Amino acid sequence: MTRNKANDVLKLVLAALFAALVCVATMVVRIPMPATDGYANLGDAIILISAFLMPPYLAAAAAGIGSMLADLLAGYAEFAPGTFIIKAAVAFIAGNIFFRFGKEKGVFSSLPVMVIAGVVAECAMVLGYFAYEALILSYGMGAAGSLLGNVGQGIVGVVISCTVTPLLMRNTEVKNMMAKTWK
């Protein structure tokens, strides 16, 4: 197999792996939000980790697909289209900010940039779900009931991802994987 094909396979496998991890993390720990009949989860932590380890387009695909599958499998099909777009945007925003401003001497390791990228992306998630629930699902101002849960989910996602990602980045295999996905 040529080097380019091997890298393409690696990218596909990593995106699929992160999509599966996002789906599982979203479904395993669910905190009900009665205001919208939805739930908060730990999927955002995996989404942000993927955004900090992979190119933004790969992380966006993994985040959107994994989160949408979780909604479909958990019986929240009405959220699936919005979730796909919103979670893909979270990964794309975080990844772009991190890789644009967090690169130091060829190593992606800037914790402050990671925190800022995560916070900005999670703000997009909170606003995205508010808009989707208020306008598309016709909850109107009832969508405000999910704001606190989504903010909490975002905070937990940022804290976990900013704790775990630097540890992962110390691993030689992870560094090699990151270098290969950027070729």
Residue 36 has pLDDT above 70, yes or no: no
Query: What's the total number of domains in the chain?
Result: 1
> Per-residue pLDDT tens for 135-150?
999 999 999 988 988 9
43-89 per-position pLDDT tens digit:
999 999 999 999 999 999 999 999 999 999 999 999 999 999 999 99
180 occurs within a structural domain: no
The structure's pTM equals 0.92
Contacts 24+ apart (CB under 8 A), 53-56: 53/165, 53/168, 53/169, 53/174, 53/177, 53/178, 53/181, 54/11, 54/14, 54/15, 54/18, 54/95, 54/178, 54/181, 55/11, 55/95, 55/99, 55/181, 55/182, 56/91, 56/92, 56/95, 56/96, 56/99
Residue 18 lies in a domain: yes
pLDDT at 140: 94
Domain span at residue 129? 3-29+37-175
- The CATH code of the domain that includes 53 is 1.10.1760.20
